[in-house]
Chain A
């Protein structure tokens, strides 16, 4: 079940940039593309744990700042020859606010 919660104003996130949301399961990076699409992924590169939120956002991809792995923001899948996947979360914008699906928190507390 999805459960969207308001985490920030859209303008808090720079276009072609990201901001971090702290959660009990680790940090989540919320990305905003040049054309205002939003994506949320674990803020941890599966390679060496680099903070993806600090990567350069290009198109709907982000390049990890530590060793330049490139991830597709849609799927969290590493691109090119690199192999790895980052967990993704549902996120959307509504009336200038950013809403993140926090179902993962509920699952955790139910467990």
Chain B
């Protein structure tokens, strides 16, 4: 019976274009726009980064370690002063002066762990305020160089390959550096909320259209009706996020990270966003209210959770607030996978937090929606 209710809901969703647009077309479009703008930025914009004080071999190794995209050219510069002059003059977009005399083993990790810290012992990252990408790639080069140097200085069984140290060339939460890998899952999370809100709206519409009462007259329990409807909302959400994952990956070359981890996070994010989405919209009395709640709360959670602006670019208090939202936890989980390249096991924590959020809000949603269905 639950399956019958859910399938009917899904079939109607497919017919009802407005829902189709909200749950699939809009996120897809968003993914496409993001994909084109971010994929384009990396391949078409030429960025020149100058490096002084490093041997050609070190530079080559560092370039490989920092995984610079095509279009970034690294050029050797004779001195720190030359780097500064070229960056100021515009012939370079950014630069790194390596100052071997000031370098210590312990400080080598700083550019890797914190690429935004430009004046670390041993490095001078030279930037021009107007070139965001220049700064980004200069910092990446600094991180790459330090990782190579670091790898040379520690025993080889600890760091088998320099590249494994310099896994992050762009990072969440520092200097507003963003990319498709960051945005794609986050946009998907926002649309999960909107999608579940639209699902609830469809239930409210069914109530005013009288079909809900007609279903209630049939020999099935209210819980079966509610679970059927919730299942349809969950499946729609899961399809939404999977489609965004597939499209951004295959069409635009995004990398969400370890597929198993992504799968786990997709399910976690979907149950949590559906739970909270259904619960909040179930507080609405009319379709219009439900629609308003969906849009406003969806946007609010997205902002607070850091889905739209990386919370790293906001004051610290927001980073704490973000963890009060499922969006924030989804961001943490997806961030570990796509930004830090961590394995699936790293998202078990965020996954269970999302699951807990889903259980609480889903339970509340269930009782609220049951009230709508019960005689």
Are A and B co-members of a single complex?
A: no
- Which residues of B line the A interface, CB within 8 A? none
- Which residues of A line the B interface, CB within 8 A? none
